[in-house]
Amino acid sequence: MPLYFALTSVSALLAVGVYAIVDRRNPDVSRNVYRICIALCGILFVAAVMPRGASVLSATLPFGLPWIGVHLRIDVLSAFFLAVVNLGGAAASAYAIGYGAHEKEPMRVLPFYPAFLAGMNMVVLADDAFSFLVAWEFMSLTSWALVLTHHHDAENRRAGFVYLLMASFGGFALLMAFGVLGGAGGAYDFASIRESTKEGWKTGLVLALALVGMGSKAGLAPLHIWLPLAHPAAPSHVSALMSGVMTKVAVYGFIRVVFDLLGPPAFWWSIEPMSFGAASALIGVLFATIQSDLKKLLAYSTIENIGVIFIALGLALAFKANGLALPAALAFTAALFHVFNHSLFKSLLFFGAGAVLNGCGERSIERLGGLIHSMPKTAFLFLGGCVAISALPPLNGFVSEWLVFQAILLSPSLPQWTVKLLVPAVGVALALSATLGAGCYIRAYGVAFLGRPRSEAARTAKDPDRWSLGTMAALLTLCLLAGLLPSLVIDTISPAARDFVGGRMPTQAELSWLSIAPVAESRSSYNGLLIFVFILFSAYSARWVIHKFGSSRSRRAPAWDCGYIETSPATQYTGSSFAQPIRRTLGIIAFSVKERLDMPAPGDMRPARLSIDIKDRIFDYLYAPLTRAVETCASGLNILSLLTIQEYLALVFGALVFLLILVAI
């Protein structure tokens, strides 16, 4: 039943895209489209969470490839991701009712937006390689169209180009992965792939291809370069969908292939996800720390969070391969919990960035400041998002990172030395990225929202409409609830862990006081609710005591600032000055920085200048040579287009003979 609900809603989403084109003259079309999207995402969400009669529902539709058809399926994993996708989708649509009104060319968004939602849902529902890939490519293409919404900007066009390139590369890798999985027999439905036996080399190849294919969409370093270009280029609600939701669809694809289709894992499978995850976490957060563009900063921080998710997935693989069911379930649950959390707070932050963008027309934090006075509601909600994403208790980001740490702490039980020595190193990377993340959001919030306004636009900005604020408030509430009552989320994820890693965490709802204990209470436990109550109680009692017995008077006066008051807001600490210590001490890991100081000689009236040149090492050492190689090949092969007809015939004949020989062998 839920499957048919889901299917009907997905087709309805596609129809909404068509409706947007048909009804384009109607001034209310934008509002209508987003309203219907909320309703459809709502239905899909209900379909995902409503009790299913059987744990697995499947159906085959008689179209698509003639001898395969379209296989669809909802199991615990796809239900979880369906819920994440549609929660994010509904939030983005609700936000867009207000935000979309500012769109200058709505026809560049409206037809593609519902189609994009439909594509993501289809990926999660697909149960054969063919429909999975079609849905995957559909999702890529519609999101590409959305990235190009503001195509007048050359930078956005470049972002679109890079995205298309990386998406086709990733899609190609996935095509190969499923090709290897399906084998020569061509059984492309997931059920037969699951049944088939896989040789050792095949699993290694599929794992690598899946990591490339899904990783390029999720933003795993070093395949992340498109993400910080493309995500910010789209309108903010689409950025939120791409960062918060589409990357999770890629995570889903990875889990589906590696934990499900590929069969029982070997321990070395865990090495790649863990190392690339750790690299992504560090690179992502370091780049986020030096960004001055608010949306780019958020995009880089997505890379960091995807890294955290992949670290947890890698751990789960390592534990599963060694038959340690409980630790595997813990790591797997941590990964899915972080998927859920990240979809919430990243959407919230992108919505906040969109509100700032609409309110001030400015994305660079260096020209903002003091927004807490001009946009108080947005400032409060954005602060909540910052606390959540910085993994600080008592909000939800902390819980999932805490679970990952708990999984790491179980790693001494692993027998293999490679993994055993890798895990502490990954732990350092995780700890570093968590704290650097907090620093990054202190900087983002402190420079953009606190202090004095650095521009007129920042001083006169206004809070957005009720829809936008309401959506952000709802997301923040969910963040708070997931942080205070993590046992509910963990117990919801547990069935997925049972089916995919063969174990489950102890039922958390049975513990007293709603606390969580991943293994046993004597080993580790955490109670977000109690901590939250304690903090509130201590803060309020302190306030009460001070106001009663001390003083409650206050007076406004100019800032003290050691006696010297700077009049210009330009003298405040800027984003780049804030990031300077981190850039100097830790930046060398990820990028090469050249600082040039042009100090004029005494008597010279020139202003002194400090210029900072930051280069992405990955781009320089990986992509630049690759581009050059492709260009060399292409220009080398150019002669082929200038041959005579006889030479072409000879070429075709030669190729034919060569292929026949190949087949004969």
Site for other proteins in 563-582 (CB under 8 A): 566, 569, 571-573, 577-582
As measured in angstroms, the least distance from the Cβ of 39 to other proteins is 37
Q: Which H, E and C letters describe 40-59, residue by residue?
A: HHHHHHHHHHCCCCCCCEEE
Contact (CB, 8 A) for 496 and 336: yes
- Token digits of residue 130: 């063919």
Taking the C-alpha atoms of residue 46 and residue 352, their distance in angstroms, rounded to an integer, is: 27
For tokens 């946009």, name the residue: 375
- Token digits of residue 550: 């001390």
Q: Does 463 bind other proteins (CB under 8 A)?
A: no
Q: Which of residues 311-370 bind other proteins (CB under 8 A)?
A: 369-370
Comparison of 86 and 280: residue with beta carbon closer to other proteins: 280
Spell out the alpha helix ranges (H) of 50-153: 76-99, 112-125, 129-147
Comparison of 191 and 473: residue with beta carbon closer to other proteins: 473
**399: nearest Cα among 533, 220, 500, 531:** 531
Spell out the alpha helix ranges (H) of 196-324: 200-218, 227-233, 236-240, 247-255, 271-290, 294-321
Contact (CB, 8 A) for 98 and 59: no
Among 28, 199, 561, 604, binds other proteins (CB under 8 A): 561
Can you tell me whether residue 510 is helix, strand or coil? Answer: helix
Can you tell me whether residue 270 is helix, strand or coil? Answer: helix
- Gyration radius of the chain's alpha carbons: 26
As measured in angstroms, the least distance from the Cβ of 559 to other proteins is 4
As measured in angstroms, the least distance from the Cβ of 623 to other proteins is 28
Comparison of 319 and 467: residue with beta carbon closer to other proteins: 319
Could you tell me the sign of the dihedral formed by the alpha carbons of 432, 434, 436, 439, in that order? negative
- Stretch touching other proteins by CB under 8 A, among 45-53, 66-74, 372-380, 500-508: 372-380
As measured in angstroms, the least distance from the Cβ of 90 to other proteins is 30
Comparison of 14 and 431: residue with beta carbon closer to other proteins: 431
Q: Does 509 bind other proteins (CB under 8 A)?
A: no
Could you tell me the sign of the dihedral formed by the alpha carbons of 256, 257, 263, 267, in that order? negative
Q: Does 591 bind other proteins (CB under 8 A)?
A: no
Among 100, 427, 503, 506, binds other proteins (CB under 8 A): 427
As measured in angstroms, the least distance from the Cβ of 364 to other proteins is 17
Q: Which of residues 431-460 bind other proteins (CB under 8 A)?
A: 431-432, 434-436, 438-439, 441-443, 445-447, 450-452
Measured CA distances, 560 to 280, 524, 577 (Å)? 42, 46, 22
Could you tell me the sign of the dihedral formed by the alpha carbons of 75, 81, 85, 88, in that order? positive
Taking the C-alpha atoms of residue 588 and residue 615, their distance in angstroms, rounded to an integer, is: 10
Taking the C-alpha atoms of residue 618 and residue 625, their distance in angstroms, rounded to an integer, is: 11
As measured in angstroms, the least distance from the Cβ of 565 to other proteins is 8
Q: Does 650 bind other proteins (CB under 8 A)?
A: no
- Stretch touching other proteins by CB under 8 A, among 145-153, 292-300, 357-365, 558-566: 558-566
- Stretch touching other proteins by CB under 8 A, among 82-90, 242-250, 474-482, 522-530: 522-530
Among 556, 594, 596, 606, binds other proteins (CB under 8 A): 556
Q: Which of residues 405-424 bind other proteins (CB under 8 A)?
A: 405-406, 408-409, 412, 417, 420-421, 424
Comparison of 466 and 584: residue with beta carbon closer to other proteins: 584
- Stretch touching other proteins by CB under 8 A, among 245-253, 497-505, 518-526, 629-637: 518-526
Taking the C-alpha atoms of residue 83 and residue 344, their distance in angstroms, rounded to an integer, is: 12
Q: Does 263 bind other proteins (CB under 8 A)?
A: no
Taking the C-alpha atoms of residue 94 and residue 622, their distance in angstroms, rounded to an integer, is: 40
DSSP 583-613: HHHTGGGTEEEEEEEE-PPTT--SPPEEEEE
- Token digits of residue 530: 């109690």
As measured in angstroms, the least distance from the Cβ of 450 to other proteins is 4
Count of residues interacting with other proteins (CB under 8 A): 90
Comparison of 101 and 409: residue with beta carbon closer to other proteins: 409
Q: Which of residues 535-554 bind other proteins (CB under 8 A)?
A: 535-540, 542-543, 546, 549-551, 553-554
As measured in angstroms, the least distance from the Cβ of 379 to other proteins is 8
Among 202, 525, 617, 622, binds other proteins (CB under 8 A): 525
Q: Which of residues 71-130 bind other proteins (CB under 8 A)?
A: none
Contact (CB, 8 A) for 514 and 379: no
As measured in angstroms, the least distance from the Cβ of 489 to other proteins is 17
Taking the C-alpha atoms of residue 451 and residue 578, their distance in angstroms, rounded to an integer, is: 13
As measured in angstroms, the least distance from the Cβ of 577 to other proteins is 7
Comparison of 157 and 377: residue with beta carbon closer to other proteins: 377
Comparison of 557 and 642: residue with beta carbon closer to other proteins: 557
x-or-dash string of contact with other proteins, 23-62, rule CB under 8 A: ----------------------------------------
**302: nearest Cα among 239, 233, 214:** 239
Among 376, 600, 625, 654, binds other proteins (CB under 8 A): 376
As measured in angstroms, the least distance from the Cβ of 265 to other proteins is 22
Taking the C-alpha atoms of residue 86 and residue 82, their distance in angstroms, rounded to an integer, is: 6
Q: Which of residues 181-210 bind other proteins (CB under 8 A)?
A: none
For tokens 């001070």, name the residue: 546
Question: Interhelix angle for 325-360 vs 396-409, to 10°?
Answer: 150
- Stretch touching other proteins by CB under 8 A, among 116-124, 320-328, 477-485, 529-537: 529-537
Taking the C-alpha atoms of residue 314 and residue 332, their distance in angstroms, rounded to an integer, is: 9
Among 78, 243, 302, 390, binds other proteins (CB under 8 A): 390
As measured in angstroms, the least distance from the Cβ of 13 to other proteins is 39
Taking the C-alpha atoms of residue 143 and residue 149, their distance in angstroms, rounded to an integer, is: 10
Residue type, 437: G
- Stretch touching other proteins by CB under 8 A, among 65-73, 326-334, 476-484, 520-528: 520-528
Measured CA distances, 299 to 26, 346, 379, 389, 488 (Å)? 34, 9, 20, 13, 29
As measured in angstroms, the least distance from the Cβ of 576 to other proteins is 10
Comparison of 473 and 531: residue with beta carbon closer to other proteins: 531
Contact (CB, 8 A) for 123 and 136: yes
Q: Does 593 bind other proteins (CB under 8 A)?
A: no
For tokens 């956005």, name the residue: 156
560-564: which pairs have CB atoms within 8 A and are 24 or more residues apart?
Answer: none
As measured in angstroms, the least distance from the Cβ of 58 to other proteins is 41
As measured in angstroms, the least distance from the Cβ of 527 to other proteins is 4
Q: Does 67 bind other proteins (CB under 8 A)?
A: no
Altogether, the residues listed in the chain come to a count of: 665
- Stretch touching other proteins by CB under 8 A, among 318-326, 402-410, 478-486, 625-633: 402-410
Q: Does 624 bind other proteins (CB under 8 A)?
A: no
